[in-house]
Structure 1
Amino acid sequence: MDQRISLVTLVVTDLTETRRFYLDGLGWESFVDVPGDVLMFQVGPHLVLSLWDEAAALEEIGPVTRGGTPPALLAHNVGSPDDVDAVLRDARRAGAPTIGDAVQREWGGYSGYFTDPDGFLWEVAYAPGPVGDLVVP
């Protein structure tokens, strides 16, 4: 098996609200958009973020557990601390339910957090060094 991830799929409770947040609020462009079923974004050369309507997902994968903070984190890395603040402002304008202001981190970077309408946690980070060099276009 190749060392790679092709899709990250998040099961969402309200695909209409999710669509509004990502398309209208954050200004993303969809790759696949099937109302009532799935919304997909190309987020890298060979990587897709898939937001799957819970009712549609149940048919294929079975029950979805909710509650608490999901044990997963999505990250969006940018090229500077100012870019971190700008993305967090965009998330606020998009209606993100929770926003954590960015701060200087002990590991040398600068980051803050927001949640999407389903509570999925996004880190927005400036990470100087080899990881930042690898993941920032």
Structure 2
Amino acid sequence: MEPRISLVTLAVDHLGRSREFYVVGLGWEPAVEAPGVVMIKTGQHLLFSLWDRSEFEEEVGPVARGSGVPPISLAHNVASRDEVDAVLATARSAGASHVSQAVERRWGGYSGYFADPDGYRWEIAWAPGAIEALVLPGHEPQA
């Protein structure tokens, strides 16, 4: 099997609310919309999918419920500290819940978190060096 991810799917409680957050609030463009699902192209061969939780459960199976944070985080990497702060501000303006301010990290980068309407955590990160070169197409690593 080739090491590649084609879709990242989040089961959401209210598809309309999630669509509003990502499409209207963050300005992302839907690539595919069908009953119960919105798919957004986020990479050359990658779709980010918002799937109505009840329809997700019909196909995949019951979703674990309970208190705490969903056991997954998503990351959006940018090319500078200033971009981290700007993206966090945009997300909060779109209605994201505050999780943490951006701070210098032990691993050598700078990042902060917000939560989408279903509580999924997004890390907004500047990760200089090898990671930056891997996740930002056409970007040269900074010293």
Tell me the TM-score normalised to structure 1 length: 0.95
Aligned residues: 136
Give the match's secondary structure for 2:122: strand
User: After the TM superposition, which parts of structure 1 deviate over 6 Å for at least 4 consecutive aligned residues?
Assistant: none
**Deviation per residue, 1:61-116 (Å, 9 max, x gap):** 12111331112110000000000000000011000023411011121100000000
Could you report, residue by residue, the CA deviation over 1:10-45 in whole angstroms, capped at 9, with x for unpaired residues?
10000010011001111111111225x001111111
Matched, 1:54 2:87: no
Matches for 1:1-137 after TM superposition, within 5 Å: 1-35=1-35, 37-67=36-66, 68-137=68-137
Question: C-alpha separation between the residues in 2 aligned to 1:131 and 1:106?
Answer: 14
Letter in 2 for 1:102: A
Whole-angstrom CA distance in 1 between matches of 2:58 and 2:49: 16
Tell me which amino acid in the other structure corresponds to 1:50.
S
Give 5+ residue unaligned stretches, structure 1.
Answer: none
3-state SS of 2:85 partner: helix
Shift of 1:52: 0.5
CA distance, structure 1, for counterparts of residue 39 and residue 117 of structure 2: 16
**SS of residue paired to 1:84:** helix
What is the TM-score of this pair, normalised by structure 2?
Answer: 0.91
Counterparts of 2:126 and 2:57 in 1: how far apart (Å)?
A: 36
